Amino acid sequence: MQEILRVIHKIAASPSTVLITGESGTGKELVALEIHRNSDRADKPFIKINCAAIPHNLIESELFGYEKGAFTGAVNSKPGRFELAHDGTLFLDEVAEMPPEMQVKLLRVIQESEFERVGGLSTIKINVRLIAATNKDILKEVRDGRFREDLFYRLNVVPIYLPPLRERRVDIEDLIYFFIRKFNDRLHKTIETLDQNCLQKLLVYSWPGNIRQLENVLERSVLMSESNILRLQDLAPEVAEAVASESKEADVSRFMQEYQSGESFKDIVKRQTQSVEREIIERALAQNDGNITKTAEKLGLSRKGLQLKLKELGIVTR
Ligand SMILES: Nc1ncnc2c1ncn2[C@@H]1O[C@H](COP(=O)(O)OP(=O)(O)OP(=O)(O)O)[C@@H](O)[C@H]1O
Ligand SMILES: [Mg+2]
């Protein structure tokens, strides 16, 4: 994420067109907004149009506006998003969905910074910074003839690729803490952190919905949690299940890797045993408000025995 931020700051000031690619939920819109906010256009409009959400026959009038009487229903003239974005930034979301005839018109605006309203005669000059985004493999769209190659090159002056969350797992933990703070504020909760078991599971999950999914999962967990520490059972059941089965697969393939790389069977099993012990003891401690005597009793251990275990496993009690 730091790397992406560095790129954003480097290119924000230029008027060059940016093409942001990445799977759904990776933060493309957020990045577009961040580029605008860091540019000298920050106090000018940031206008967005989602090419996938507008019927094909309306995209032209949405983008370029129309004059009174241009078509049935055009009782007044209306500026389009390009005009509204004048001196500012226009964010073309889901740009790969743009129909071919609009791709030609878009190319012309980019090249000449001018266009006409639908049904209009006068040419309008504009100064707009374009940021486009897509979650499609746009090169494939070009290869398959659905997206104009010349337009692709015009848009792709500054490419920014947002990798899926599973390919930048180092970001997951920071994002978790960020969202816990965010939803504490919003939902008036006082979650302090999440337990190790829960964190470990979230770190290995595949996050098909990327940051948006992580955000939703944490919103729900913060809302549902009955203590100040998030646990696995606070996650939505479908995520908890997916996380559990995926992490089991990940575990098994990791064991096999460790084994193949020459680690002894005994060491692998010992580490796993300890991780199970740690999980159960941490939970038992939490259920007994950190009381060692009560926890030991519950686990069928002596007080001394539990204390030795805590030390061995490096568990710190409050
Ligand atoms: N780095 C980040 N830090 C905090 N929140 C983030 C970050 N990146 C994305 N988000 C949040 O994740 C959610 C999804 O982000 P965004 O809408 O920008 O994704 P997108 O790539 O445009 O997704 P889609 O392709 O589905 O439109 C938003 O609520 C956004 O605020
Ligand atoms: Mg988006």
For the chain, give the mean pLDDT.
92
pLDDT at 243: 74
Determine which helix (DSSP H) or strand (DSSP E) holds 213, and give its type and residue range.
helix 210-224
Least confidently predicted of 105-109, 117-121, 202-206, 295-299: 202-206
For ligand 1, atom 18: residue with the closest CA: 27
pLDDT digits (tens, 9 = 90+) for 225-251: 999 999 888 887 777 777 777 777 777
Neighbouring residues of the ion ligand 2, judged by CB less than 5 Å: 29
Chain-centre distance of CA 195, in angstroms?
23
C-alpha to C-alpha distance for 250 and 202, rounded to whole angstroms? 12
Which residues are CB-neighbours of 256 under 8 A, at least 6 positions away?
none
Which residues are CB-neighbours of 211 under 8 A, at least 6 positions away?
25, 26, 27, 165, 175
End-to-end CA distance of the chain: 34
Average pLDDT of 202-213?
A: 91
Say if ligand 1 is within 6 A of residue 134 CB: no
**List of domains in the chain:** 2-163 (3.40.50.300), 166-313 (1.10.8.60)
Task: Tell me 232's DSSP state.
Answer: G
Chain-centre distance of CA 206, in angstroms?
13
pLDDT digits (tens, 9 = 90+) for 38-49: 999 999 999 999
CB 132 within 8 A of CB 89: no
In this structure, which amino acid lies at residue 286? A
The residue with greater pLDDT, 108 or 233, is 108
Q: Is the pLDDT of residue 79 over 70?
A: yes
pLDDT at 150: 96
* Of the candidates 10, 294, 280, the residue with the CA atom closest to the CA atom of residue 158: 10
Average pLDDT of 15-32?
A: 97
C-alpha to C-alpha distance for 195 and 282, rounded to whole angstroms? 8
pLDDT at 271: 87
Task: Tell me 316's DSSP state.
Answer: P
Q: Could you tell me the two tokens for 235?
A: 């996650």
Q: Could you tell me the two tokens for 290?
A: 């950190």
pLDDT digits (tens, 9 = 90+) for 245-282: 777 777 788 888 888 888 889 998 998 898 889 889 98
DSSP 262-274: T--HHHHHHHHHH
pLDDT at 245: 76
DSSP 167-178: G-THHHHHHHHH
Average pLDDT of 133-151?
A: 96
Q: Which of 21, 30, 171 gets mutated to test ligand 1 (max ligand atoms within 8 A of its CB)?
A: 30
pLDDT at 255: 84
pLDDT at 318: 65
Q: Is the pLDDT of residue 71 over 90?
A: no
* Of the candidates 278, 288, 266, 263, the residue with the CA atom closest to the CA atom of residue 312: 278
3-state helix, strand, coil in the chain (%, to 5): 55, 15, 30
Ligand nearest to C-alpha 32: 1
C-alpha to C-alpha distance for 180 and 177, rounded to whole angstroms? 5
Output the pTM of the full model: 0.79
C-alpha to C-alpha distance for 17 and 20, rounded to whole angstroms? 10
pLDDT at 12: 95
Say if ligand 1 is within 6 A of residue 21 CB: no
C-alpha to C-alpha distance for 80 and 141, rounded to whole angstroms? 27
In this structure, which amino acid lies at residue 92? L
C-alpha to C-alpha distance for 193 and 181, rounded to whole angstroms? 9
Say if ligand 1 is within 6 A of residue 1 CB: yes
Looking up tokens 């496993």 gives: 313
Q: Could you give the dihedral angle defined by the CA atoms of residues 131, 135, 138 and 144, in that order, rounded to the nearest 10 degrees?
A: -140
Least confidently predicted of 177-186, 199-208, 220-229: 199-208
